[in-house]
């Protein structure tokens, strides 16, 4: 299952072929929430693809010409005629920008959960201001 960093306790789910992915808060043991991490179908060494456990041959994909306005979708590799589909369903694995602090915990709210971390674990940059005073 894929859990978004900013929505703890929620999981990524597909809503059928060619539909956008959704975030849901009730991850029963349903396979619509489970994805298998496989070697990237674009053939590159450092890439991976997310295949649905419940529907073999169906993958999470982004448009080949990805822009921030496009959503992630769910599609079948056999049904797609899009050029570069193998590239669109392949993603590069990297270390995350941030990690959970050891004493972090999840606070459960009525409508969503919240990740609680110590404030001192965040590092903010400090700046020195210089004034250029000329007559």
- Residues 43-54 have pLDDT tens digits of 888 888 888 888
pLDDT grade for 81, boundaries at 50, 70 and 90: low
49 contact partners, CB below 8 Å, separation of at least 6 = 37, 38, 39, 40, 41, 59, 60, 89, 90, 91
Nearest to 42 by CA among 77, 6, 89: 89
The domain tally of the chain equals 1
Is residue 110, in this structure, part of any structural domain at all? no
pLDDT at 84 over 80: no
Is residue 121, in this structure, part of any structural domain at all? no
Domain that holds residue 31: 11-92
Supply the pTM of this predicted model.
Answer: 0.62
The C-alpha atoms of residue 75 and residue 6 are separated, in whole angstroms, by 25
Please give the structure tokens belonging to residue 119: 């404030």
pLDDT grade for 63, boundaries at 50, 70 and 90: low
Is residue 129, in this structure, part of any structural domain at all? no
Burial class of residue 53 in the structure, from the number of CB atoms within 10 Å of its CB (0-12 exposed, 13-18 middle, 19+ buried) = middle
pLDDT grade for 57, boundaries at 50, 70 and 90: confident
> Is 33 in a helix, a strand, or coil?
helix
Is residue 107, in this structure, part of any structural domain at all? no
Main-chain phi, psi angles of 33, to 5 degrees: -100, -5
Is residue 28, in this structure, part of any structural domain at all? yes
Indicate left, alpha or beta for 16 from its phi (over 0: left) and psi (-120 to 50: alpha): left
Would you say how long the chain is, in residues?
135
Is residue 126, in this structure, part of any structural domain at all? no
Average pLDDT, the chain: 77
What CATH number does residue 48 fall under? 2.80.10.50
Is residue 64, in this structure, part of any structural domain at all? yes
Q: Tell me if 116 sits within 8 A of 102, measured CB to CB.
A: no
Is residue 112, in this structure, part of any structural domain at all? no
pLDDT at 133 over 80: yes
């Amino acid at each position: 299952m894929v859990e978004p960093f900013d929505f703890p306790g929620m999981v990524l789910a597909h809503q059928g072929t060619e539909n956008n992915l959704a975030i849901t808060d009730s991850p029963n043991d349903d396979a619509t929430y489970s994805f298998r991490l496989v070697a990237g179908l674009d053939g590159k060494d450092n890439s991976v693809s997310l295949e649905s456990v419940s529907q073999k041959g169906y993958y999470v994909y982004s448009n080949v010409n990805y822009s921030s306005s496009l959503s992630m979708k769910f599609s079948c590799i056999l049904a797609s005629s899009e050029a570069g589909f193998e590239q669109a369903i392949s993603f590069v694995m990297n270390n995350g920008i941030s990690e959970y602090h050891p004493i972090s915990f999840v606070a459960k709210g009525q409508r969503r959960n919240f990740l609680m971390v110590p404030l001192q674990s965040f590092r903010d940059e400090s700046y020195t201001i210089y004034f250029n005073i000329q007559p």
